Structure 1
Amino acid sequence: MPSFDIVSKVDLQEIDNAINQTRKEIDQRFDFKGTHNEINLEKDAIVLLGADDYKLDAVIDVLKGKLVRRNVSPKCLDYGKKEPASGGAVRQRVAIVQGVSTEKGKEIIKFIKETKLKVQAQIMDDQVRVSGKKIDDLQEVIQAVKGHDFDIELQFVNMRA
C-alpha cells in the first residue's frame, strides 16, 4: 500500500553555520560595540545572552535572518522566557524543535481526516505515517497539509508506491 511520512527535522549543521555567521555580524556591528553579547549552540538548544532586552532582540533578529538565508525555517525554534543574567544582561534559551510531538501529530491526523480523502494516518514515534490505496489521494493530502499552518516546519519523506 502506498505511504509517506510527515516529519519535522532540522539540519543542525545549517543552524551551527547560521550561529557562526550571527556571531561574526554581532562582532562587527557598531550598535554592539562595547557590550557583551553571546550566542552558543548546545545539544538541543541555542543560548542567547544580550547586554539588555534591545540587544537580545537584535541578536534574535540577526539569527532569524541568517537561518532563513540557509533555508532553515524559524518555526523550528521555540523561544523560552527571558531571564536576568549577571551584570544586567538578559539570557534566553531557544529550544530546537525536532520531530512531530504527539499533540501536533493528533492535530495533523484530525486535519487529514477532515479532508475526507480515503487515507489512514497514524503516529509513529516522532512522525506521522499516511497510507492509502491511491497515490493521487496521498498527493492531495501532502498539498492540503502544506497549505495549512501547524506552527512547525514539516517535511514529507519516504514516499512509497
Structure 2
Amino acid sequence: MPSFDTVLEPNLVEVRNAVDQASKEIGTRFDFKGSSAKVEIKDKEVTLYGDSDFQIGQVFDVLNAKLSKRQVDARFLDAAKIEKIGGDKVKQVVTIKAGIEAELAKKITKAIKDSKIKVSASIQGDTIRVQGNKRDDLQTTMALLRKEITEVPLSFNNFRD
C-alpha cells in the first residue's frame, strides 16, 4: 500500500553553520563593537545575548538573514520572551522546532479526514504516516497539507509504492 511520512525536520547542520556565520558577523560589525551581543547554540536551542531589546532584535535579524541564505525556513524558530540577566544585559532563547507536536498532529489528521480524500493518517510518535490505495491520492494529500498547514514547514519523506 503506498504511503509517506509527514515530518518536521530542520537541517541542523545548516542551522549550526548559520549560527557560526551570524556570530562572525556580530563580531565584526561596527554597531556591535564593545557590546555583549553574541549568539550561542546548544542542541536545539539558540541563545541571543545583547545590551537591550533593540540589540536583541538586531541580532535576531542577523541570524534570520544567515538562516535564509542557507535555505532554513524561519518558521522552524520559536522565540521566547526577552529576559534580563543582570545589569543591563538581556537574552532571548530561540528553540528550533523538530518533530510534530500532538496538537499539530491532531490538526493535520483532522485536515486530512475533512478533505474526504481516500487516505488514512496515523500519528506515529513525532511523524504522521499517510496511507492510501493510489499514488495520486497521496500527492493530492501532500498538496493539501502544504496549503492548509502554514505555521510550520512540513516535509514529506519515506514515500513508498
TM-score normalized with structure 2 length:
0.96
Q: Which moved more, 1:52-61 or 1:149-158?
A: 149-158
Q: Which moved more, 1:133-142 or 1:147-156?
A: 147-156
Paired residue secondary structure (2:35): coil
Residue 34 of structure 1, CA deviation: 1.4
Paired residue secondary structure (1:34): coil
Q: Does 1:99 align with 2:93?
A: no
Is 1:119–1:137's contact at 8 Å kept on the other side of the alignment?
yes
CA distance in 1, matches of 2:73, 2:148: 15
Is 1:104–1:150's contact at 8 Å kept on the other side of the alignment?
no
Residue 108 of structure 1, CA deviation: 0.5
1:71 aligned partner: 71
CA distance in 1, matches of 2:12, 2:133: 35
TM-score normalized with structure 1 length:
0.96
Percentage identity across paired residues of the two chains: 40
2:48 aligned partner: 48
Corresponding letter in the other structure for 2:119: V
CA distance in 2, matches of 1:115, 1:48: 41
Moved over 6 A (4+): none
1:136 aligned partner: 136
Residue 112 of structure 1, CA deviation: 0.9
Residue 116 of structure 1, CA deviation: 0.9
Corresponding letter in the other structure for 1:139: Q
CA RMSD of aligned residues (A): 1.0
**Number of equivalences:** 161
| Structure 1 residue runs without a partner (length 5+) | none
Residue 27 of structure 1, CA deviation: 1.3
Residue 148 of structure 1, CA deviation: 2.1
Is 2:108–2:149's contact at 8 Å kept on the other side of the alignment?
no
Is 1:2–1:133's contact at 8 Å kept on the other side of the alignment?
yes
Q: Deviations over 1:50-72 (max 9, x none)?
A: 11111100000111111111111
Is 2:19–2:41's contact at 8 Å kept on the other side of the alignment?
yes
